[in-house]
Chains A and B, each alone.
Chain A
Amino acid sequence: MYSSMRDNDEYLYRFRAYELEISPEEIIEFIDKNHRGAGKEYKSLTRDLLAYIPDDHEYKGELKVFYKLCFEDSTSSLRINNIDFKLAEILYNEMRKSEMTAFFVCTAGNIFSDLSKRFTAEGDYLKAYIIDIAGNIAVTATATMIHRKITEEAGRIGMRTTNYYCPGNCGWNINEQQKVFEMLSGHYSGVMLSEVNLMYPVKSISAIVGIGKHVSFRENTCELCHNIKCPYRNKSHQEGK
């Protein structure tokens, strides 16, 4: 385990399902929460579906740390290594007290989407739906674990972290995802980004984390935002994308 964070430090993470605690119960709980109890009916089906995912399937991600930050209040932008991030005001305010930032990309791989496609082709849309949700939960758990690791590391040098924020959320334009990938300079854990900012494998997340003595973590990031039409409202850190 590394003991300090230096500028341009890169970290590679690999997890197994047991470390991420992805279980049928969690998927059922997610469906229940979003569909008022509908998940319990499909408990045994969910168990059967998770058996398709090998125990040794890898959930992976790569993260890079940057020290030299230049904040521009008038434009709510953050410049790092000559790349300008146009953060929306909400996100800019969250990041403003950061002394360093971390960018990461992580993925649950293709297995969930491949299974979902297979079930769809077989006309079994319920199975396709449940395994798709499982993929969302898996990649979100991977991102949460990476965030936990970087928070622990920041704690060792007396710093805290913000939440992780993804392009496309909190008013941050999804086109900025290209810049997130640029920051990671080729270390994408096999994730590819299309021209329209769709990541392959689909069950992937890219994000920024602010690190500093005076930044704060929020239990609910939707409280920051006034966009009541946002499709990800109250779900952004539960569903992945």
Chain B
Amino acid sequence: MNDLIKKIFKCVEMGKINLTSPYPPDMKDQDGADELTRQALDNGIHPSDILDSAMIPAMEVVGNKFSRNEIFVPQMLMSAKAMSAAMEHIKPFFKSGEAKRKGVFIIGTVEGDLHDIGKNLVAMMIEGAGWEVIDLGVDVKTEQFISTINEYPGSLIGLSALITTTMENMKKTVNEVKSKYPETRVLIGGAPVTDDFRKKIGASFYSPDPQGAVNYLNSGLQV
């Protein structure tokens, strides 16, 4: 494996964003994902190779470590930020068609709920897995989800809720999305959400952690 690819992998895995970032302390004063990705492109490495051999597998390692409680939210956020720094250099190649995304994932916290940390984590992990993420933010009305599905046909939906009362709005959104677009896969998550609730409201998938959602999307949606 190319040395730059290995270094980008390590920066994303360890959350080393750029040269000036003090985290992690043992990588202080070293180039981060930002500089190394620029260098890799300048050295003629194909953007798809950077994505497929460094960024995506590194984020998968991060997601699995998080699922096993080996790292926690702050480290995951740093990795996601390092991934975003690298992604900024790759984005122009999506437009030109030299790099491809796996699909479009629309995510938002349901109507009435303003909590976004869990939703952001899932969005970042899914973006890091090679998907285009449309983040609608918090307090998202069903109509906003539906109009965004219109805009991105074939997209998948992720709904987040943190309190039990807004879970009811999740039910409403799932019902309306499914009635208009029966084929659309709807993933749900959030602290009070369970797989039993997922079955009850007819959503497609529930995961207690971000990597579960990534694995579901990457599985070809067989679950």
Contact = CB atoms under 8 A, between A and B. Distances in A.
Interface in A142-188: 168, 174-175
Contact of B73 (A35, A120, A174): A35
A38 interface: yes
A50 B71 CA distance: 24
A197 interface: yes
Contacts of B164: 168, 174
B194 A198 contact: no
Contacts of B121: 125
Nearest to A229: B194
Interface residues of A, number: 32
B72 A194 contact: no
Given A38-B71, A194-B112, A126 B191 contact: no
A120 B120 contact: yes
A196 B166 contact: yes
B212 to A, nearest CB: 16
B74 A41 contact: yes
A76 B121 CA distance: 40
Interface stretch (A94-102, A127-135, A205-213): A127-135
B78 A128 contact: no
Contacts of A194: 112
Nearest to B22: A44
Interface in A65-92: none
Contacts of B69: 36
Interface string A94-132: 000000000000000000010000001001111011101
A221 B194 CA distance: 23
A35 B72 contact: yes
B113 interface: yes
Given A126-B78, A198-B112, A175 B165 contact: yes
Given A120-B116, A129-B74, A174-B164, 4 more contacts: A35-B72, A41-B23, A41-B74, A125-B121
Interface of A: 31, 34-36, 38-39, 41-42, 44, 113, 120, 123-126, 128-130, 132, 168, 174-175, 194-198, 202, 229, 231-232, 241
10 interchain residue pairs of minimum CB distance: A35-B72, A231-B191, A196-B112, A196-B165, A126-B77, A125-B77, A38-B72, A197-B165, A38-B74, A196-B166
